Structure formats: C-alpha cells, structure tokens
Structure 1
Amino acid sequence: MTHVFRSVAEFRDAAGLDLGAGDWFTITQDRIDAFADVTEDWQWIHVDPDRAAASDMGTTVAHGYLTLSLIPRLSSGLFTFEGVGRAINYGLDKVRFPSYVRPGDRVRARGRVAWTRDASAGGVLASVHYAIEVEGRDTPACVAEALMVAFPPED
C-alpha cells in the first residue's frame, strides 16, 4: 500500500517510518541494452549474452547504476506526495551493490524514512533508505541512502 504524505509537516514527522515493499518489476535484456546505449557503457558483462554465458556468471547482468536509477520507479509504489509543492532529489549518502541482477530477475524496493530535518524555504530534508530486493535472493542488489527535499506549495 502506498503511503501518502499530505503535507510537508506530515513528511517531517515520518522519521523512522517503515514504508514496506513495493511491487515486483522484471528486468529485461532489452532494458539493460537500452541503459548501455544511454550511458555508453557497453561492457560485455552487460550486453554480450554469448560471452557472459561462457563466463563464471553464466549470463549478462544489469549495470549497478541501472538498478540504482530504478529507485524512482520502484519507490513510486511505496510513497507519494499530495499537498506538497514539489519534491526533489538532493543526493545520495551511501550506495552499495552487494548482489547482481540478471535478465528475467524481478526486483522491488523496500524503504524506510531514516531521518528528517528542516531545510531552507520551508522544506524538509529526509534520508530514505532503500534496499532493492531480488525475488528469491536474501542479498539485495542495491542498498542506498537517498536524500530528498519536499517543499510546501507555493502561494
């Protein structure tokens, strides 16, 4: 179930809130190839199925940055804002890729609002901790501490 923050004040009060897990999302080789084209990162472990199949991995794997870049898509099922002017990405404090994602794997985000504090212009800065889980695996593909700022509506 998606948590709805109806105001900046409600978001400020969300420190420690477990956001749960979102829906599963399938990673395809087409998506991996498209990401390689956009980022110009055509390393064979991502885009050469024959060479990757002959390696110890046995298959291609998604770019770690592809997995990271899916956080907005995957977190949209965890929370949303209504009654907030805008919410922006502020940065990342920590990102790790403890496991890989293969074509056909299903991933989802699990999130928690770790902390919040007042920011400029009446906004609230928050750290949302994500684990990008891979279905059937104990080790997440990505863990990230994402910073975001929510601002009140403009008059």
Structure 2
Amino acid sequence: MKTYEHISDLQPLVGEVIGISEWLALEQDRVNLFADATGDHQWIHVDPVRAKDGPFGVPIAHGFLTLSLLPAFSHTAYKVKNSSAGVNYGLDKVRFPAPVPVGSLLRAHFKLLSYEALDKGGAQLKLEMTVEREGASKPVCIAESIIRRFP
C-alpha cells in the first residue's frame, strides 16, 4: 500500500499509478450475496450446475459486483493520512472487457488522471481504475471514478 501524507501530495502524480491493491478472491458466496442485494439472480451468476453448459463453462461474477469492489480495492492500494473523508462524485467510461469466473483472484491499479483543488484543501480526483484477473491477458473492469477528498 502506498501512503501519502496530504491530499496535495497527489497533485504532481497526475498520469501515474498511485497504488495497486492486494489480491481479492471472488467466491460464489459473494456473488450470491450480490445477487440477493440487487435482485439479479441470472443463472449465469448463481447456478453453477447450469453455468457449466453456459458460454463460460462456470458461473461468472456480475459486472456491477466487480465495479462495486473498487472501494475495497482502494483501501488496500493507497491511503491519504491527512484526509478525513472521500466521497464518490461519479463514474465515466465503465467497461467490462472480460468475464470474472467465480474463484478468480482480482486486484486493481489506480492511475491518477486529474487533480482539481477544491475549497479548504480538498481535491477532486479522477482515477482510472483497472481491475485485473490473475493469469488473464485482458482486464475485467476499467472505470474512471471521480472522487472528492476532504482534509
């Protein structure tokens, strides 16, 4: 995990990766809980027996489940010590270039695309978050997230 003292320490890092998360195992229990939370019980996600005959041969995670893990990834990728809060402001260009078979190991890379100073020492950050699957040639999720950090 990379650690930064102040939000402003990120400003000169535009264009650079500011952190890479730890690996996270995506198991069927998490997929099922996400299906229950969202009401999306499509068989390709929650029925391992039927999924064996599906297009991927195994159940796959919901794309939105992968996207929803970005905060968890960020907590192991980087930390800003003198920041009291970070809030989601929005997303741009979300894509799911490859599926996530249940049982996959995932991690995310956080690249700072832009830094905009806000009042009272805060900043609006635009991050390109690329989620990779261990052993795969394509990322499983690429999203541009806009986050506001406050001192």
Asked if these proteins are the same fold (TM beyond 0.5), I'd say: yes
1:13, distance to aligned residue in structure 2 (A): 3.2
Q: Is there any run of 5+ residues in structure 2 with no aligned partner, and where?
A: none
* AA aligned opposite 1:147: I
Give the match for residue 144 of structure 1: 143
Preserved contact between residue 108 and residue 132 of structure 1 (Cα < 8 Å): yes
**Which residue number in structure 1 is paired with residue 56 of structure 2?**
57
Question: Following TM superposition, by how much is the alpha carbon of 1:110 offset from its aligned partner in structure 2, in angstroms?
Answer: 1.2
2:82 matches 1:83: yes
Q: Deviation string for 1:20-49 (max 9, x for gaps)?
A: 432211110111001000111001111111
- The answer (yes or no) to whether the contact 1:11–1:124 under 8 Å persists in 2 is no
Any idea what SS the aligned residue of 1:98 has?
A: coil
Letter of the structure 2 residue corresponding to residue 49 of structure 1: P
Distance (Å, rounded) in 2 between the aligned partners of 1:88 and 1:55: 38
Q: Residue in 2 aligned with 1:12?
A: 11
Equivalent residue number for residue 74 of structure 1: 73
The answer to whether the Cα contact below 8 Å between 2:94 and 2:142 also exists between their aligned partners in 1 is yes
In 1, the alpha carbon distance for the partners of 2:94 and 2:6 equals 28
Q: Report the Cα offset of residue 119 of structure 1.
A: 2.6
1:39 maps to 2:30: no
Secondary structure of the structure 2 residue equivalent to 1:76: helix
Deviation at residue 88 of structure 1 after TM alignment: 1.1
Question: Does 2:105 match 1:109?
Answer: no
* Alignment: residue pair count: 151
SS across alignment from 1:62: coil
Deviations 1:100-141 (A, max 9, x none): 111111000012111101234542111111110000001011
Query: How far did 1:61 drift?
Result: 0.5
- Please give the residue correspondences for 1:88-99 in structure 2 after superposition, counting only pairs within 5 Å: 88-99=87-98
When the two chains are superposed, the root-mean-square deviation of aligned CA atoms in Å is: 1.4
Give the CA deviation at 1:16. Answer: 2.1
Q: Per the alignment, do residues 70 and 6 of structure 1 end up closer, same or farther by CA in structure 2, a change over 3 Å counting? A: same
User: More displaced, 66-75 or 51-60?
Assistant: 51-60
Q: Which runs of no fewer than 5 residues in structure 1 stay unpaired?
A: none
How far 1:80 sits from its partner (Å)? 0.9
